[in-house]
Amino acid sequence: MNLPDPLRALFVPATVMALALAACSSPSDNDASTKASDASADAVVEAGPPAIKPTDEPTRGGDGTPIELAPVGESDLAGARLTGELGCSFAVDAATPPILVAKGNVASQDPARGIVKIGDTIATIAATGGYDGMADGTNFFSEGLQLRVALTGAAQGGGESPPRPATLTLNRADGARRVIAGLWQCGP
């Protein structure tokens, strides 16, 4: 390589310095830094993108009155007499009681039936397809109200029936709409 004298004067010392620095570092230092960077790269790959947490939306539209669901209690369930082999429930989080509970039979075209509590009033709801039709989210219908459960993420935890992040969208006959973020859990 034929370089002009001024460039050769810069190139030769820069090359010598680079080789000297490379010779000064020990192979174990290079291996450790390589392993550390590989481990952090693997952690990023395994973790993947963070899950998008849906947010609650207040009631919009309609006559202006909010759509408020109250927790469904044991006495509410006893009075509803829901039947079915398996059930699903929607709760705002794992520490709170459900605001929607439904049951249905596996491999059945009979509707799954459930309840929600609007204020102090228990409203019965139904979805087509039995348990199988509601396990991965569904549309429930009641008089003057449609409730749509949509899954928003993978199951959280293990076991037979881990909860999955979901939204519950409530559409009232007068045009009011509300979205609630929470957990959808189905199983025995």
What whole-number distance in Å separates Cα of residue 113 and Cα of residue 120? Answer: 19
Spell out, as residue ranges, where the chain has pLDDT lower than 70. 1-55
Query: Per this entry, what is the length of the chain?
Result: 188
**Which pLDDT tens digit goes with each residue over 25-56?**
454 444 444 444 444 444 433 444 444 455 67
The confidence score (pLDDT) of residue 4 equals 55
Distance of CA 150 to the CA centre of its chain: 10
Domain borders along the chain are 5-47, 57-187
What whole-number distance in Å separates Cα of residue 46 and Cα of residue 14? Answer: 40
